[in-house]
Amino acid sequence: MPYSFKNTLRLPKEEEEKQTYAEIEEGVYFRGHNLWLLVLSMGIACVGLNINSPAAVIGAMLISPLMGPVVGLAFGLSIKAKGLIKLSLWNWTIMVLTGLLASTVYFVITPFHSETSQLAAFKDATVFDCFLALFGGFAWFLGITRKEAIKVIAGVAVATACIPPLCTAGYGLANLNWEYFLGGLYFYLINCVFIGVGTWILSIILGYQKYYLEKDNKMNRNASILVTVLSILAVLPSLFFTIKKWNDENLKQRADNYIKRIREKNPEIAILNYRAFENNNKKYLDITILNDSTFIPKDELLQHDQMIKDINLIWHYSKTARNNTDIEYLQNQINALRLQLENQKNQNIRIEKGKK
C-alpha cells in the first residue's frame, strides 16, 4: 500500500491523551448547567413529540447533554479506569431518572394525550437503529479526539436520537401505556449500548489502552465479555421489531399494488381510502368505496392479483354517498344538464345543415 494512501486512512490524534480524558470526564458530570440543559431539552422534546413537531424534537437533540456518561463509561471500561466507570454509572442513573421524571411530569399535566406519529416513531427500535448508534459512537469518539468537535458531536446527537425515546418512555409512564414505556426505554437503552460499543472499539483501535495500561497488563477480557454479552442482549429484541417492520411494509406494498390494479381495471370503482393491517396473525385490507352500485364480487377482484389471496378484504361504503339525498339530487341535475347540452348540440348541427 503506497505511503500516501496510508496517510489518507490514518487517524492521527489532534489532542494529547490526558486532554481527551479530561474532556470525557468533564462531559460525564450532571450538575449545574448540564442538569438544567437536560431538563430544558426534555421539555422541548416533549412538546415536539406532543404536537408532532420534528423541528422541536431536532432542536432538543442538539442541546441535550445525554451521551457524556455513556461515552465515559465505555472509555473507562477500555482503559480500566474504575473511578471513571463509577462516576459514569452514577451520573447515567441521575440522567435517566431526571429525564424520565421531567417527561412524565410534562405528559401528566399536558391536556393533549394522543399518540402522535412522532411518539410512535420512537417506540419500536430495529436493527438499523443499532447500526445508527454504533456509527454514532464511532463518530462521537472521533469528534472527542479532535480539537474542534462541536459540529461532529451535534450531528451525532441528532443522528442517534437519544432524547426522544426517553421522552416516549415518560409518555408511556404518564399514561400507563406500557407499550410506549417499554418500547421507548428499550430504544434509549440500545442507543446507549451501541454508542458505548462504538466508543469502546475505537478507543482500542486508536491505542488508548496502550497509553493507559501497563505493558505487562493483559487485555481486559472481562470488559470484552461484558461488552459482547450486552451487545447480543441489546440487539435480540430489535430483530423482532425489524421482522415486524418488514412484514408491515410488505403488506402495505402488496395492498398498494392491488389497489392500483383495481383502479386500472375497474375505473368505475371510486376508492376513497384503504388501510392494510394485521390482527391476530391475520392480514386485512379495509377498503372504502364511494358507491355500492359499482360493487364487484370478491372472487372476481381476487383474479386481478393472486398475491393477496391470504389477505381478507373488508369493503365499506361511504355513508355520505349512500345516505345523503342531496348527492343523488345533484347527480340527477348533472345528468339532466348533460342531456340538454347534447340536445342543443344536435339542434345546432341540424340548423347548420339546413343553412347549407
Q: What is the pLDDT of residue 329?
A: 53
User: At 322, is the pLDDT very low, low, confident or very high (cuts 50, 70, 90)?
Assistant: very low
Q: What is the pLDDT of residue 169?
A: 92
H or E segment and range at residue 289? strand 282-289
Q: What is the pLDDT of residue 105?
A: 92
Q: Please tell me which residue, 207 or 254, carries the higher pLDDT value.
A: 254
98-112, 115-129, 208-222, 267-281: segment of lowest average pLDDT: 208-222
The rounded mean pLDDT for the chain is 77
Residue 311: C-alpha distances to residues 56, 256, 277 (Å): 39, 13, 10
* Cut 0.75: pTM above it: no
Q: What is the pLDDT of residue 171?
A: 92
Q: Is the pLDDT of residue 138 over 60?
A: yes
49-58, 199-208, 264-273: segment of lowest average pLDDT: 264-273
User: At 173, is the pLDDT very low, low, confident or very high (cuts 50, 70, 90)?
Assistant: very high
pLDDT 10s digits, 6-51: 666 666 665 667 777 777 877 788 777 777 888 888 888 898 888 8
User: At 297, is the pLDDT very low, low, confident or very high (cuts 50, 70, 90)?
Assistant: low
Domain boundaries defined on the chain: 3-217, 324-355
Q: Do the Cβ atoms of 99 and 87 come closer than 8 Å?
A: no
29-33, 99-103, 268-272: segment of lowest average pLDDT: 268-272
Q: What is the pLDDT of residue 216?
A: 43
Q: What percent of the chain has pLDDT over 70?
A: 74
Give residue 285's identity as a one-letter amino acid code. Answer: L
82-86, 199-203, 210-214, 240-244: segment of lowest average pLDDT: 210-214
The three cell numbers of residue 101 are 421524571
pLDDT (mean) for 186-203: 88
Q: What is the pLDDT of residue 15?
A: 62
CATH architecture of 3-217: Up-down Bundle (1.20)
The DSSP annotation for 32-99 comes to THHHHHHHHHHHHHHHHHHTT-HHHHHHHHHH---SHHHHHHHHHHHHT-HHHHHHHHHHHHHHHHHH
User: At 65, is the pLDDT very low, low, confident or very high (cuts 50, 70, 90)?
Assistant: confident
Q: Please tell me which residue, 117 or 326, carries the higher pLDDT value.
A: 117
Q: What is the pLDDT of residue 324?
A: 47
Contacts of 58 (CB under 8 A, 6+ apart): 48, 158
User: At 75, is the pLDDT very low, low, confident or very high (cuts 50, 70, 90)?
Assistant: confident
Q: Is the pLDDT of residue 282 over 70?
A: yes
